[in-house]
Amino acid sequence: MTTLKNDRFLRALLREPVDTTPIWMMRQAGRYLPEYRETRSQAGDFLSLCKNTELACEVTLQPLRRYELDAAILFSDILTVPDAMGLGLYFEIGEGPKFHKTIRTEQDVANLPKLNAKSDLSYVMDAVSTIRSALSGQVPLIGFSGSPWTLATYMIEGGSSKDFRFSKEMLYRQPEVLHALLDHLADAVIDYLNAQIDAGAQAVQIFDSWGGALAHQQYIDFSLQYMQKIVSGLKREKDGRKVPVILFTKGGGQWLEPMIMTGADALGLDWTTPLNVARKTAAGRVALQGNLDPATLYGSTQEIEKAVKAMLDDAYAHGELTGYIANLGHGITQWVDPDQPKVFVDTVHEYSAKYLK
């Protein structure tokens, strides 16, 4: 077993002492990097890139060559799960992901196959094991999945949506059908994430990208309940080390208390939630991750430094010296100048020293 040279990310997730604040960025392997665009062009299209083990490994490692990041995250897509269930994922240029088939009836849900992640998504597991080997202990590798609610919205709508018309119609008209779909997806995500852990993922994150679109009780009943089921079903230790679980609900800052009760090790925060308030609410029960507005990276060096320092001041305002991972409040955008994330990363490491050393 390769010794992990930099484990501060895992230590912070478990609220253990760290020498400096760890940092990674959601979507850190992506279109803002010219080397990523070149590799994607080489693959032919996005899905082909995801399914090519060597190229998926290459784009995962690209941001680590530019920035002193404390974690790598598997290069894949949350929609690999419904694609493996036969919905026919494809991407329209400028329009995002779409499915050839939608799930809108009780029979549609009943017809969904049970996922066997190790065989049905073997290319993802191949990527995990290849990336883990290529990292050679440099930093930990994060695996991930979409949340059941988020996956369900794409499956019901047939792609991205602004109003979630069909998803919410099912929620209010046929809640039993939606619950059946979400339960099926929760089982699939448990299998998928456990397979990633077996293949070498050292932490996992559940991306609940659209949980914030729900009303309060509906979030609890149709999103959080199923994420809690996933957390309860995951392998939490591998190779003698705990495998931390991060929940991230975009727009979910008002649900921190019930999210803490899921048993997750850490909660991701978007930029709408004050970090000092979240730290006070968490009260040392979970680690927190986030929450710089991704648009901050459009700013000047001085503005990025200012925003990052303010974020770190909030993170350590209550005297806690660990349990915090710096990140963006959502994924980095394709229009960011690749030089600007270095300011973010370096400022986090350098400024946090005043608190941690």
Task: Render each residue's pLDDT in the chain as its tens digit; 357 residues.
Answer: 678 999 999 999 999 999 999 999 999 999 999 999 999 999 999 999 999 999 999 999 999 999 999 999 999 999 999 999 999 999 877 778 999 999 999 999 999 999 999 999 999 999 999 999 999 999 999 999 999 999 999 999 999 999 999 999 999 999 999 999 999 999 999 999 999 999 999 999 999 999 999 999 999 999 999 999 999 999 999 999 999 999 999 999 999 999 999 999 999 999 999 999 999 999 999 999 999 999 999 999 999 999 999 999 999 999 999 999 999 999 999 999 999 999 999 999 999 999 987
Distance CA 210, CA 150 (A): 5
65 lies in some domain: yes
> Is residue 340 part of an annotated ligand binding site?
no
124 lies in some domain: yes
Distance CA 49, CA 128 (A): 14
Per the annotation, the verdict on 314 as an active-site residue is: no
With a CB cutoff of 8 Å and minimum separation 6, the contacts of 155 are 82, 87, 99, 102, 103, 181
333 lies in some domain: yes
Distance CA 145, CA 139 (A): 20
- Of 8, 15, 40, 279, which residue is the catalytic one? 40
Q: What is the pLDDT of residue 94?
A: 72
Q: What is the pLDDT of residue 96?
A: 85
- pTM of structure: 0.97
279 lies in some domain: yes
Q: What is the pLDDT of residue 291?
A: 96
Looking at the 3D structure of the chain, how many domains does it have?
Answer: 1
Per the annotation, the verdict on 27 as an active-site residue is: yes
CB distance 160 to 154 below 8 Å: yes
293 lies in some domain: yes
What residues make up the domain containing 284? 8-356
With a CB cutoff of 8 Å and minimum separation 6, the contacts of 219 are 211, 212, 249, 252, 255
2 lies in some domain: no
End-to-end CA distance of the chain: 30
CA neighbor of 56 nearest in space, from 77, 87, 83? 77
Distance CA 341, CA 142 (A): 19
**Which H/E stretch holds residue 52?**
none
Per the annotation, the verdict on 31 as an active-site residue is: yes
3 lies in some domain: no
> Is residue 77 part of an annotated ligand binding site?
yes
> Is residue 318 part of an annotated ligand binding site?
no
| CATH classification at residue 78 | 3.20.20.210
Distance CA 107, CA 86 (A): 15
1 lies in some domain: no
